[in-house]
Structure 1
Amino acid sequence: MAVVVGYAGNDEGRAALARAAAEASLRGTSLLVVDTGREPTPAAELAAALDALDVEHEVVPPGPVRDAAEEVIAAAAGAELVVIGLRRRSSVGKLILGANATRILLESPCPVITVKPPAPAR
């Protein structure tokens, strides 16, 4: 069983990747990285992020349809945990969770952890 992470090359994706790597290490399992960005993450960028982690990993390339939620849910079959990043939202935005995050939370066959990147310094 692996820890699955939905990764996009943004602050939320980097926060999710760091937490997922920590969870995989704690659980003694591998990391399955699903590239969920609107555009595929450049291979060199993703390789650099993964090389900095001390955990066995595999990358699931983006599917032809680019349905991020569906790709994460499919990868989660048999997984131990899913980790996704969420962006900070305004007061009104907090009433609505993103469509992909909502689908993953509701349809994942295993527990889901959501993380946010650190707050910007004020």
Structure 2
Amino acid sequence: MTDSGTTSGAASTLVVGYSAKPEGRAALARAIRIARTNDAKVVVVHTSADDEVTDVQDLMESTGLQFDIHQAPDVLDPAEELIKVSESSPDALIVIGLRRRSPVGKLLLGSNAQRVLLDASCPVLAVKAEATAPS
């Protein structure tokens, strides 16, 4: 990863774990920035309600990027779906968001984030949640 937030071996597909929480929005914002730089496709894997998906659809259409939106069939196991979707592209990069935690909470990652980091066969970019909306 370079200082500008782009990958050195540019991925052609960015698989984003999205929820309407700050960490999901941060992951999507970073994936959009990387996709613009690398002319990559964005695949949004979400567990959100239908009205939230409409907002994501509108946002992605406004970017001019190539994208797909994929509903995770099992909202209790989004990590599995992220890994599965990433395996369909030989040069995928998974982008996930992490929420800020207390000092005690820092001892453990969220179970979904930990599973993606440990089990994905492709690179994973973990983005800290910020107070900014996707651009």
TM-score, structure 1 normalization: 0.85
Q: Residue 92 of structure 1 corresponds to which residue in structure 2?
A: 104
User: Could you say what secondary structure the match of 2:129 adopts?
Assistant: coil
Q: Which residue of 2 aligns with 1:108?
A: 120
1:59 matched to 2:69? The reply is yes
1:69-111 Cα offsets, whole Å, 9 max, x none, are 0000001102421100000000000000010000000111110
Identical positions, percent = 40
The aligned residue for residue 83 of structure 2 is: 73
Partner of 2:37: 26
> Contact conserved, 1:4 with 1:32, CA < 8 A, in 2?
yes
Coordinate RMSD, CA, aligned: 1.8
Moved more, 11-20 or 76-85: 76-85
Unpaired segments of 5 or more residues in structure 2?
Answer: 1-11
Matching residue of 2:5: none
Moved over 4 A (4+): none
Deviation track 1:1-52 (CA, whole Å, cap 9, x = no partner) reads 41110000111111100101111222222101101x3x43523222233234
Q: Equivalents in 2 of 1:41, 1:49: separation in Å? A: 14
Rounded to whole Å, the distance in 2 between the matches of 1:12 and 1:41 is: 19
Equivalents in 2 of 1:68, 1:60: separation in Å? 11
Listed as ranges, the gaps of 5+ residues in structure 1 are none
Pair 1:7–1:53, CA change in 2 (3 A): same
Checking the alignment, whether the CA contact within 8 Å between 2:57 and 2:69 is kept in structure 1 is no
SS of the counterpart of 1:18? helix
Aligned residues: 117
Contact 1:84–1:112 (8 Å) recurs in 2: yes
